[in-house]
Structure 1
Amino acid sequence: MKINKCNRLVFAVLLGFGLTGHAQTKQWTLEECVRYALDNNITIKQSELDLKSAVIDKKGAFGSYLPTVNGNASHSWNIGLNVNPVTNIATTQTTQYSSLGVNAGVDLYKGLQNQNNYRRAKLTIVASQYQLLQMQEDISLNVANAFLEILSNKENLKVRKEQLAIDEKRLARSEEMVNAGTIPRGDLYDLKATAATDQQNIILAENSLLISKLSLAQLLQLKEFADFDIADNIEVKDENNIMAQNPNDIYTKAKEIRTELKLAQTNLEIAEKNVSIARGAYQPTLQGFYSFSTRASYSDILSGVDANGNPVFRGPDPLLTQFSDNKGHNFGFQLNVPIFNGFSVRNNVEKSKVNLEKSKIDLEQKSLDLQRNVFTAFTNAKGALNAYESSNVTLEARQQAYNYAKEKYDVGLMNSFDFTQAQTLLTNAQSDLIRMKYDYMFKIKILEFYFGIPIVPIIAK
């Protein structure tokens, strides 16, 4: 079979992963994995930046309460006939002049838009915090799922290796029995094929384990993942006795604490503020303003004429004197009354109302989804527990059947094909038990999550 370059690259990565695994010194616990993901996951970092941006927007909204102050300065040259801005005399000459000024303005009334913008900005911070928390909760569950998948693959690999060891012993013993003429040579061929199948299953199990480790390492954003491994000391138990809870009680508790409902409620409040802001544009606005200006000229000043009728000029006054003499103040109020604006204000109000209705529907949908998810999670956890307990019973029965088949095979009362069938059923029962065990553990984690029991406490930053 030909292997393309991509497959060779994947194989090389997985091989490097496996070869360096023997030199590992640290085995990560579930809590360590979750905590590391919360501190380093890229998606969470992006949500943290969104929160910082919302805090900056709040500062901007607060700034709308404050007056605006701007300074200005200019210097110009006028050549030819022009009016000196200081003397107001038209002369034909090159004139230079400078001006300085300060302008200030403040909103006295703006339809309460500034107040509503500030309140919306505070709500946006709360929404960003809930968004970050929801992201952290989702990452925690994803890490737990990936962690338990590794444990499942580890145990499955262990079963496959134990099965190979058993078959190799049987194969060696069967070779002796064939040489002694106790069993036919065909049984030996069947056992060789079985051992070869075991080796193939081990390779598949190793690949599944390595890929699951790689998936969790990538979820944790680990740069050095070749030595990554996890601890195996996890017991299958409902340590918080969550299955003893009534699903209605879990749902009632979830409605109080679940982040998705809090986020939807906050988004609804933001939508209500948007309606108030849009309606504020219907109202008049009143601004107060103040400006200060002064100027100075650098050109000579006509002071009169001499006896021959020729103009007599004198030099300009000192700059500070001109700035002092030419200063002026301007202040007052400006009232703007909206009369017609091409329906833009009305359209904005209507759009904000539509968004408000969408937010109400979203909150209602989130509540319905939460109820469905809680009852589904409880049913799944109960079903997983029953399946796990049934798998234990099945495994015990398959183990007894295998032991009985082995006794018959050892005394020659069963052929190798039937014995291999009994062994295959036992292996399948062991694999099913592993799968059911970790499926039950993950579903318990989900149910605990809805009841407000996190995998690790999430600390707000």
Structure 2
Amino acid sequence: MKNYSLLVTLLLFSSLLTAQQKEWTLEECVNYALDNNIQVKQSELEVELSDIEKRDALGNFIPSINGQATNAWNTGLTQNVTTGILQNQTTRNFSAGVTAGLTLYDGLRNFKQLQRARISRIASEYSLDKMKDDIALFVADAYLQVLFSKQNLEVLKAQNEVTQQQLVRTRDLVEAGVLPQGDLLEIQATIADEKQRMIVADNQIQISLIGLAQTLGIKDYQNFNIAERDYNIFGNEILENSVYDIIEKAKEERSEIKIAEANRELAEMDVELTKGAYLPTLNAFFNYNTRESGQSRIIGSTLDPNEPTRQIGIVESSNEIVVAPNAVPTLGSPLPFFEQLYRNDGVTYGLQLNVPILNGFATRNQVRRNEVNVKRAQFQLEQAELDLEANVYQAYTDARGAFEVYEASLVAADAQERAFEYATERFNVGLTNAFDFSQAKIRFENTQREALRAKYDYIFKLKVVELYFGIPVGDLKF
């Protein structure tokens, strides 16, 4: 009894977990992917880098300020800066300074660099928008594939139930001698084939779910599932527009053209930046410096009692020796640290003008390289326009063709359903054999599957056209 109670508790707990399992709608999947997909995050990093580039350009207008300080010891035979005598000693010297610089004129390169950074920021935003559109379409395609696989499995299960019912009826008729044994074997073979296809369909569902979860960045594959709802066809009135109207709208709205235009502007700004190297640059600078030493200082002098005078020369005419008092300096302790800094400080300031004269044609060659890049960017813009026209025309044609296929698949499914009902009636009264009945059933299953496939294929291709028409991802209706 205890084991039975435990089993019931586990079953109830399992049912509760299953009931609490989140089932994702298509809108939730798209929104989650836009926030968590790795490729979208990488595009967001490019936008962040463009913001840093813009701050770099703004920083060029701000003065540069640098401070330096040095405290050094020197040991060995060196000149005593106080007495001027070479001697083995250890000296310590400290120096410090602050330097400020400001660019007053550099051929307007700072202003152009800021303009370029702003254009680069816009281009990064366009790239992010394009990535979001691509990910949204990719998620929608993967989601609809999962939904198709699930509904395909439901079709197989429903048909298998019909076959199971026919198996019971056929067994009774065979035992009554109305139908041959071969019909029973045919039905049993059909059931085995249907079970095999259901296993394959279930595996396909799991594979599709894992692929969708990876796109979203979800690692809990086992508990990931989508909401099983029937998505209707919305927005097919967009196909009432001519393909040329959609192409013109796409040129105005799509990020591909905007990215190419921004890249051309960046190439043109690079030319202007490089031409700025032809012009002189004018910089202002200011430096404050001071120093301190641990050396003893001279605080006075006295005559050397042992040698009060010293020779400093000879008179050429009389050969008389010229002498001077031989004063010996009196050394004292160095002044306090901060007093020395105060006494020994100084400033330097001025302007520096640099005029480019010759640099081995480096600037001229760089200008020519960038001019070539402008032409390349222009060609890329033209190619982007051609590619967009081709893609829109292809998407428009695919959507219209998918709609025609969908309508035809509905007609075929309706016809095969009536044919299957007729075959079922004939089989029930013994007017057809199990093989013909199975073939009619297979044809009916195939048309149902193709109708589902055509439906979701049309929905996806219709959304592609809507994106080209400039409808935002968040406004797409499913």
Q: Using structure 1 for the length normalisation, give the TM-score.
A: 0.90
- In the TM superposition, residue 80 of structure 1 has moved relative to its aligned partner by 3.3
- The runs of 5 or more residues in structure 1 that have no matched partner are 1-18
**2:91 aligned with 1:95:** yes
After TM superposition, where is structure 1 displaced by more than 6 Å over at least 4 residues in a row? none
**2:334 aligned with 1:338:** no
| Aligned position for 1:312 | 329
| Aligned position for 1:9 | none
| Aligned position for 1:14 | none
Q: Is the contact made by 1:31 and 1:455 (CA closer than 8 Å) also made in structure 2?
A: no
Distance 1:193 1:240, change over 3 A: closer
**2:361 aligned with 1:347:** no
What are the equivalent positions in structure 2 for 1:436-451 lying under 5 Å apart? 436-451=454-469
| Aligned position for 2:159 | 163
Output the aligned Cα RMSD: 2.2
- In the TM superposition, residue 343 of structure 1 has moved relative to its aligned partner by 2.9
Match of 1:47 among 43, 61, 78: 43
| Aligned position for 2:271 | 275
1:31-61 residue CA offsets vs partner (Å, 9 max, x unmatched): 1111111111111112212211211121111
Whole-angstrom distance in 2 between the partners of 1:351 and 1:20 = 68
**Structure 2 SS opposite 1:80:** strand
Pick the structure with greater CA Rg: 2
Query: Partner letter of residue 390 of structure 1?
Result: A
Q: Is the contact made by 2:420 and 2:440 (CA closer than 8 Å) also made in structure 1?
A: yes
What are the equivalent positions in structure 2 for 1:11-410 lying under 5 Å apart? 25-78=21-74, 79-82=76-79, 84=81, 92=87, 94-239=90-235, 241-302=237-298, 303-308=300-305, 309=308, 311-315=328-332, 316-410=334-428
1:356-414 residue CA offsets vs partner (Å, 9 max, x unmatched): 11211111111111111112111111111111100111111111211222222222221
Q: Is the contact made by 1:294 and 1:324 (CA closer than 8 Å) also made in structure 2?
A: yes
Q: Using structure 2 for the length normalisation, give the TM-score.
A: 0.86
| Aligned position for 1:13 | none
Higher strand share: 2
Q: Is the contact made by 2:83 and 2:329 (CA closer than 8 Å) also made in structure 1?
A: no
| Aligned position for 2:317 | none
Whole-angstrom distance in 2 between the partners of 1:327 and 1:228 = 73
Query: Partner letter of residue 72 of structure 2?
Result: S
- In the TM superposition, residue 23 of structure 1 has moved relative to its aligned partner by 5.1
- In the TM superposition, residue 234 of structure 1 has moved relative to its aligned partner by 3.5
Query: Partner letter of residue 365 of structure 1?
Result: Q
Whole-angstrom distance in 2 between the partners of 1:428 and 1:141 = 27
- In the TM superposition, residue 264 of structure 1 has moved relative to its aligned partner by 1.3
Query: Partner letter of residue 80 of structure 1?
Result: L
Distance 1:21 1:201, change over 3 A: farther
1:179-200 residue CA offsets vs partner (Å, 9 max, x unmatched): 1100111111111111111111
- In the TM superposition, residue 312 of structure 1 has moved relative to its aligned partner by 2.6
Q: Is the contact made by 1:21 and 1:226 (CA closer than 8 Å) also made in structure 2?
A: no
Distance 1:234 1:454, change over 3 A: farther
- In the TM superposition, residue 22 of structure 1 has moved relative to its aligned partner by 5.1
Distance 1:333 1:50, change over 3 A: same
| Aligned position for 1:7 | none
- In the TM superposition, residue 268 of structure 1 has moved relative to its aligned partner by 1.1
Whole-angstrom distance in 2 between the partners of 1:161 and 1:364 = 53
- In the TM superposition, residue 235 of structure 1 has moved relative to its aligned partner by 3.4
Query: Partner letter of residue 363 of structure 1?
Result: L
